[in-house]
Structure formats: C-alpha cells, structure tokens
Chain A
Amino acid sequence: MTQAFDIQFPKRFVDSPQAPEYSLGKSRVGNKTVGGVVLTLGRQDKLVRFEQAILPHLNAAYNLARWLTRNEHDAQDMVQEASLRAFKFFDGFHGGDARAWLLATVRNTCYTWLQQNRRSQLTTAFDEEIHSVEDDTMNPSALALKSGDVEMVRESLEELPDEFREVVVLRDLEELSYKQIAEVINAPLGTVMSRLARARGRLKQILCSRLKEKA
C-alpha cells in the first residue's frame, strides 16, 4: 500500500531540468539548425547522432539489465534489443537526458522479457506491506558490514523484488537523481521516494538476517 506523503517537493528537483548531456540541436556536420529545428538529412546522420547519444551510457544500460535479469547473457541480449528499440524511436527523442531515456528503454525491454520468462517471480515479488515499517526488534549494531562482505551484499540485493532492486541500483549504484529515476521508472517523485525508503528497509532486514546467520 502506498503511504501518503505530505511533502512539498523542493523546487530543486521539480523545476530544474537535467542538463542535457547531448544537445542534439547544436550544429554538427550534416545537421542544419533552422529556428531550433534540426533537419536530419538522411539515415547516416541519424546513426551518428544515435551513437553519440547512446554509446556513452552502455555501462549504465548493462548494469541495470544485469541487475534486472540477474544473468550476464540475458543482460547483453536486453541491452542489444533495447538499443535497437531506442534507434527505432530515436526520432522521438528531442535531446535531453539521453541516459535516463536509454535506461527507461532498457527497463521496459527487461520487464517484457521478465514477464515472458519468469512470470511466477513477478507475481510473488511485490508484497510491500510486510516489512514496510522500520523493524525495532532488529539489533542495529548487527549491521557491522565489513569490506569482505561484498558477496553477501550482492546476494541480498538480488533477493529484493525487481521494483525495489531497480530503484536501489539506479540511486546507489548509478547515482541518478530522484527526478531521473522518476523518468526511468515512469512514476511520480513521491513513488520514487517511498519505494526507495521501503527498498532500503527491506535490504537492511535481509542483510541483518544474513549477518545473524553468519554469526
């Protein structure tokens, strides 16, 4: 269930547009800019612009796909398929945040694939309510994570439902802003905030129980 947030979103992330990493309206060989409209002359030009906009974000795309599919080969297939999809719809991309745009495409591709391949997993995934409140019984000092516990952290993160895992990956690994995450998962900022809070609470719980087992 969604918690109500009586939060006025700070102007900082409501109004300020993400600085576009690739300003496609700028003059470049083969483009003619007329009153801010880019005339794309031919497919070669589209290909060049696409590669310039998309290829720098392949790591981000792969990382997200890898965490969503939890599999190296499937992740590569997802990124390739998403790239083709992105190229097909590249005319609809009018500059702006190329990374968020690509990640949204990767995410959609992965979810389509997940639905076809792991139907059962998706349906059991989203029981938010169970641990959405901070667990007081947990001993805080149990969170004595050491640098050698990377494998445990990885397993814990993989154990999270997809909807939780993706926001943690986008925020803490990819270091996107809330606004960018909202763009990628196509949800309001409030949803990003509450989902991140729940995802981290859940992650903490999983980590605690694993640390207990280990001890």
Chain B
Amino acid sequence: MDCTHAQTLLDTYLDQELDAVRNSEVEEHLHGCARCSQSYQDRQVIRQSLKTESLYFKAPADLQKRIQRSVRQAAKAEAPVGWFSWSWIKIAAPMAAVALVVLMIVPYFVGPSSDELLTQEVVGSHIRSLMVNHLADVPSTDQHTVNPWFNGKLDFSPPVSDLASAGFPLVGGRLDYLNNRPVAALVYQRDNHVINVFVWPSDSSTQSSAPIKTRQGYHVVRWASSGMNFWAVSDLEQNQLAKFIDLLKSSAGNSPS
C-alpha cells in the first residue's frame, strides 16, 4: 500500500470502519511510514480535542416541554378525523381488496344455492314427466286409490285431495326422486295444463311459503305445512296456480287422508 492510498483510508481507519484486510494493510503501512504515521497522530489529536463535553450542545431544559406542547397541539389539530386514521388504510385497503376478490370468486366455487338447485330439479322432473309418457304410475281420479298406492313405496302418506269440482281433477300419482330422497308426485290437471305436486316430509313442522318463481316458463311454488314440503310446478297461469294451491292447502287441512 502506498502513501496516497493509505492517506485516503486514514480517516476510515481512525473510525474503525475498515474491513479487517484493509485495516491490517493500513496498520502495516503506518508502521513503516513516518509521514503517514504523523498525519494519523494529528487526526487522533484533533478528534480528541473535539470529544470534549463543552463542544456538545445539550438541549436547553425547557426545549422538551416546548416541543411536547406544540406536538400535542398538532395532535389535537388532527382530531377532527376522529376514529378515522390514515394508518387504518394500510390494513383496510388490502382487506377490502381480498374481500372483493372473494366475493367475485366464491360464487364460482359455491355455485347456486341449494334452494335454486332444488327448483331446477323440480322443473326438470316436471318436464321429464311430460316427455316420456310417464305422468302417473297410478292413473286414477280417485284420491282413495291414489293415496293407498303409495303405501309400502314411501315411508310417509302424502295428502291427496280431490279438487275435480273446482276444475282441478286428479290425474294420478307416481314415485319420483328429489332432494336425495324418494318423493310422492301427485298429478292434477286444469284443461290441458298439467300440475305436478311433489310432496315429502319436512324436518320442521313450521308453516312457511315462498314467492312464486318462474324457470323456463314454468311457475314453481313451494310451501310447507303439517310437516310436509310441497312443491307445485306447472305451466298454468300464475293466478290459476295460486288459486289451485289455496284450494289444496284448505282441503288438506280439512281432510286428513
């Protein structure tokens, strides 16, 4: 190491900020070079003279209070924002982004609700019954023929009503499969419109009903009463269907079968 190089490193050496290799190189040079050694000693003397307490200006005693006062005032001035703080943004923004993505993605995985799925199933079942000439397993207009026919085929007895006098004659009954279980399908007719009424026991005994839904041109109505789920589906006009359902509800209440 020559003098020029050593001189440029003297201060870093003095401050002990050199890496080990260069540190020993400078050290070695200083041993053999009186001139650099002298200027190193000069630096030490100067630094020593700087490290006296009287050159360090300590903050006046009241400065801290003065600063605390003004900072607290500044903090109060920030007050109108109330609970809202920009620091929340750091947390809220990513959370909002994640929530948005979840809201967009989840429907793809979760798919339609179970209610919607069952509606589709009911409509599908209704259409199939019209398609394959398999409307009824037991074609009969007599409720006392249709009802006993289900004995031994289902673990419940579906309420069958005779509404012929009201213009909704019974056509028959058949077994169907909905909602992962065998169900009773009761077939009524109004002019040329077929009404399928699917019946199976409900878990709860509460009365409930849902508004009419329309899928592919078919109206679907569901309700629950006396421990049974009812799903009626037909291409019949909505008013007529509603009238039919009212009749069905009242007759089922009157005549336990």
- Show the binding face of A for B, using Cβ within 8 Å: 3, 5, 7-13, 34, 37, 39-44, 46-47, 50-51, 55, 58-59, 61-63, 66-67, 72, 75-76, 79-80, 83-84, 87-88, 91, 134, 136, 140, 143, 145, 147, 149-150, 153-154, 157, 168, 171-173, 177-178, 193-194, 196-197, 200, 203-204, 207
Contacts and interface: CB of A to CB of B under 8 A. Distances in A.
B31 interface: no
Contacts of A91: 86-87
A210 to B, nearest CB: 12
20 contacts: A3-B8, A7-B9, A7-B12, A10-B20, A10-B22, A12-B17, A40-B87, A43-B79, A55-B64, A58-B64, A62-B58, A62-B63, A87-B71, A87-B74, A134-B39, A154-B55, A157-B55, A168-B50, A171-B15, A197-B12
B57 A75 contact: yes
Interface of B: 7-12, 15, 17-20, 22, 35, 38-39, 41-43, 45-52, 54-60, 63-64, 66-68, 70-72, 74-75, 78-79, 83, 85-88, 90-91
Closest 7 CB pairs of A and B: A10-B19, A62-B59, A66-B57, A197-B11, A172-B50, A40-B87, A140-B38
Main DSSP-derived SS at the B contact region: helix
Given A171-B15, A178-B17, A76 B60 contact: yes
Contacts of A177: 17
B91 to A, nearest CB: 6
Contacts of A50: 71
B43 A76 contact: no
B40 to A, nearest CB: 10
B58 A59 contact: yes
Nearest to A135: B39
Nearest to A65: B57
Given A79-B67, A197-B10, 13 more contacts: A5-B8, A12-B17, A39-B88, A43-B79, A47-B71, A51-B68, A83-B71, A84-B71, A143-B46, A178-B15, A193-B11, A197-B8, A204-B43
